[in-house]
Amino acid sequence: MSFLVTKLDEPLAGLDKIGVDPASIPIFQKKGQFIGLLIYDVPVIAANVIKQEMLAAGGDAAVHRSAITHKIEKTNVLTLGTLAQHDKVIRKLAMMPYWGLDLISQAMKECLYSEMPKEMPLPNGKKLVFDRTLIMGIVNVTPDSFYAASRVQKDQLLDYVAKMVQNGVDIVDIGGESTRPGSDRVPLDEELNRVLPAIELVKANFDVIISVDTYKSKVAEEALKLGVHIVNDISALRFDGKMLEVVLKYKPAVILMHMKGEPKTMQQNPYYEDVVKEILEFFVERISLLKKYGLDDRVIIDPGIGFGKRFEDNIEILKRLDQFKSLKVPLLIGHSRKSFIGHALGGIPAEERLFGTLAVTAYCVMKKVNILRVHDVAENLQIVKMISQLI
């Protein structure tokens, strides 16, 4: 007698091969879903309590090697265990109103159980539905964007956007100022003269969601008057003090991007102790600001690949995408043909970075990123459709 035994990378995927009672599936999911929560800057005495409670529940927690001797004041904590074990610890910590343990309990519960909205309302009756990874197509009405093939002249615009729409683009992102490393700012009138006619032309010919890529409040407001649905601000509403007023007035979706410095200087020796932690803290502050005005349901975050980041920072951001998903707001990644791909592939130019871009796209779809901002709509959308059948 012999038995066939196979190993499952996703253990719960085997439930449909067993014939279990459907009512038991949530129970197995709690017992079988392994969870790791990274909790930052925990007082060392609280960290030791969390570790002991995780051990008592049958899991474990990793803390700094000096936590047990209290030679440090704070430590990050990585909890390791099933969902059921975490539930036990969350309940225990909730009853401990000291050293911040009850607050940690609440934060753990929110991280595990709060959900990102499945759709986002937009002006003019439109909405974004996050049932798959969406593709945002880049339309640069600029003479100097880093990828020459993405620069669109006015007489080419209709054909350029028509091709995107025919290929199934979800969002068209129109920008009138290059924000490549080392770029200079474009005067307001010049950006308006580039962007507004392009928006009018697209609106008149296509029923598609439109985003305006700008950090200037006047450009955003005039674009919103024309019916734009999303403001894509590389400064996360920081460069122009009136941008928040515009957003509050028109209530578009807002893409908040992280950037260290500004495009002219952002690649001059950027440095991070922990790039993901710093970006997360930045987003928490920005989201809290919009929450005060009741607009947190319109927020999309973009970690800003290539904006004040070294090669290793960009790679680290991508490796740790799950942490950005923990904020429970839609996540956008703009990686298309960027220099980190060229660096990884031996220094190839933007014109040769399509395959590298598609590799990152596939990875992001598997990580359930909500929106991908790309130059090559048809190719990227094929990746999205194929990977979506496999996950």
Query: What CATH number does the domain containing 208 carry?
Result: 3.20.20.20
Q: Does 82 map to a domain?
A: yes
Are residues 359 and 246 part of one domain?
yes
Give the model's pLDDT for residue 148: 65
Total domains in the fold of the chain: 2
118-127, 149-158, 268-277, range with the lowest pLDDT: 149-158
Cα–Cα distance measured from residue 220 to residue 227, given in angstroms and rounded to the nearest whole number: 11
Q: Is 373 known to be catalytic?
A: yes
Q: What is the CA radius of gyration of the chain?
A: 23
Q: Is 338 known to be catalytic?
A: yes
Distance set, CA 301 to CA 28, 248, 337 (Å): 33, 18, 20
> Residue 383 is which amino acid?
I
Q: Of the candidates 113, 145, 166, which is a domain's last residue?
A: 113
Are residues 301 and 157 part of one domain?
yes
Taking the model in full, what pTM does it have? Answer: 0.92
Is the pLDDT reported for residue 146 higher than 80? no
Are residues 61 and 25 part of one domain?
yes
9-23, 30-44, 225-239, 262-276, range with the lowest pLDDT: 9-23
Helix/strand number for the chain, H first, E second:
14, 13
Are residues 154 and 93 part of one domain?
no
CB-based contact 233:299 (threshold 8 Å)? no
pLDDT higher at 26 or 222: 222
Are residues 245 and 342 part of one domain?
yes
Across 6-35, average pLDDT: 79
Is the pLDDT reported for residue 265 higher than 80? no
Q: What is the CATH number of the domain that holds 58?
A: 3.30.1370
Are residues 146 and 233 part of one domain?
yes
Q: For residue range 292-307, what is the model confidence (pLDDT) as tens digits?
A: 999 999 999 999 999 9
Are residues 132 and 66 part of one domain?
no
Q: Does 5 map to a domain?
A: no
Q: Does 3 map to a domain?
A: no
Q: Is 341 helix (H, G, I), strand (E, B) or coil?
A: helix
Average pLDDT of the chain to the nearest whole number? 92
Are residues 107 and 189 part of one domain?
no
Are residues 105 and 125 part of one domain?
no
pLDDT higher at 22 or 97: 97
Q: For residue range 160-192, what is the model confidence (pLDDT) as tens digits?
A: 999 999 999 999 999 988 777 766 788 899 999
Q: Which residues constitute the domain of residue 49?
A: 11-113
Are residues 157 and 95 part of one domain?
no
**Given the residues 338, 353, 367, 385, the one annotated as active site:** 338
Are residues 83 and 125 part of one domain?
no
Q: Is 340 helix (H, G, I), strand (E, B) or coil?
A: helix
Task: Quote the strand ranges of 260-367, DSSP E.
Answer: 299-302, 332-333
Q: For residue range 150-162, what is the model confidence (pLDDT) as tens digits?
A: 777 888 899 999 9
Cα–Cα distance measured from residue 161 to residue 144, given in angstroms and rounded to the nearest whole number: 19
Are residues 79 and 132 part of one domain?
no
**Given the residues 51, 286, 325, 373, the one annotated as active site:** 373
Cα–Cα distance measured from residue 391 to residue 388, given in angstroms and rounded to the nearest whole number: 6
Select from 140, 134, 183, 204 the least CA-distant residue to 369. Answer: 134
State the sign of the Cα–Cα–Cα–Cα dihedral 166, 169, 173, 179: negative
pLDDT higher at 127 or 262: 127
